[in-house]
Structure 1
Amino acid sequence: MRLNRGGNRRLNRALYTIALSQAWHHPPAMAYIARRQAEGKSRAEALHCLRHRIARPVFRLLQAGQLESAQAA
């Protein structure tokens, strides 16, 4: 199942900015981009994969925060 690409535009932009910054300055992210490009993906597709990789833990943190606030109420 594919998530809606429209979604929260501000959150998508923030994740894109983080991915772009990591792609330039963070060696593990640079290696991840290179690995994806070696698989035949374009740089834009590799950045999309990196953005998704960054989004997973962020989403888990957001969900955990919602659970905590729901339990406190």
Structure 2
Amino acid sequence: MIAPLVGQGAPELLGLNGVGPEAAGQLLVTAGQNPQRLWAEAVFAVLCGVAPLPASSGRIRRHRLNRGGDRQANSALHRIVICRLRWDQRGRTYVERRAGEGMSKTVSMGCLKRHVARDICNALTRQNIHAAASGHSLTAAA
């Protein structure tokens, strides 16, 4: 039942690799009806809990993902990352490159989550611009 609603509300979001109707619906709920809320990609990353936080100790400099934010949106991003690692060569190449730089698979997947959040935020803001121009709300159909 959710697929046609999300298809009407955010077809551009469903066009992204690895984004299914359930994940798209959850991300639309997280974004909310206020398009001004997503004024930057970093804001959406904080909303989804994938913003990097410094977790350095001594001479070791590293980051971890913020554990705050909407856990369901974070779970949706995780499912998208898993799909991209399975079926998208670019995702696999990215994780292999990061592993070659000495990062673990978990840290590499966290970096990929941040990239996916950036893609989704761009799709949502483009959708908001088109919806505002035509006078429709992004989540009116959802």
Q: Which residue of 2 aligns with 1:65?
A: 127
User: SS at 2:122's partner residue?
Assistant: helix
* AA aligned opposite 2:125: Q
Alignment of 1:1-73 (within 5 A): 4=46, 5=49, 6-70=68-132, 72=135
Instruction: Provide structure 2 residue ranges, at least 5 long, that are not aligned to the other structure.
Output: 1-41, 50-67, 137-142
Worse-matched range after superposition: 61-70 or 19-28: 61-70
Return the alpha-carbon distance in structure 2 between the equivalents of residues 60 and 9 of structure 1. Answer: 20
1:68 Cα shift?
Answer: 4.2
Instruction: Provide structure 1 residue ranges, at least 5 long, that are not aligned to the other structure.
Output: none
Return the alpha-carbon distance in structure 1 between the equivalents of residues 127 and 83 of structure 2. Answer: 26
State TM-score, norm by structure 1.
Answer: 0.77
1:65 Cα shift?
Answer: 2.9
Q: CA RMSD in A?
A: 2.2
Higher strand share: 2
Higher helix share: 1
Higher relative contact order (CA 8 A, sep 6+): 2
Equivalent residues, number: 73
User: SS at 1:41's partner residue?
Assistant: coil
Identity of aligned residues (%): 26
